[in-house]
Amino acid sequence: MFRVQVIHGPNLNMLGLREPGIYGSQTLATIEAMLAEQSGLLGADLAFFQSNSEGALVDCIQACYGRQDGILINPGAYTHTSVAIRDAIAAVGLPTVEVHLSNIHKRESFRHHSYIAAVAVGQICGFGPDSYRLGLHGLVQHLKSLRQGLGDA
């Protein structure tokens, strides 16, 4: 069983209300329910966290050290601004997958750069809520390959 921390950044608590033309009509609760269903099939135990505060997100990432095997994160707008979140991910050294509901590379130019991408295993964007599902699958597959490489599987 892999322990995965799912982290949602700012404004994701407003999904379903916030710009449905960009982010869709599903709520954060429905996305988390879908992930919880997937986790059973993948052998992953998920913990969920959402905050609009950069410091709370950093605290959550740091708390993962020694407790979680990987991180699935949608840093929201902090993707493009937060060196602190990037540094927290680098500090804990856990495999991390960055996800976004929209394709950040097809949006405003300021959204094209991600501080997180350089310290992430991978980035998935543009598939709506499926970005989370695809990210979870990719992260668990990566964790399995690491475990097999260490001879633990």
Q: Which residues are catalytic?
A: 23, 100
Contact 4, 139 (CB under 8 A): yes
**DSSP structure class, residue 127:** S
Strand partners, 3: 45
**101-114 b/e (C-beta count within 10 Å ≥ 16 → b):** bbebeeeeeebeeb
Quote the CA–CA distance of 42 and 24 in Å, as a whole number: 25
The tokens of 51 are what? 């905050």
Cβ pair 35, 77 in contact under 8 A: no
Provide the 8-state DSSP code for 105: G
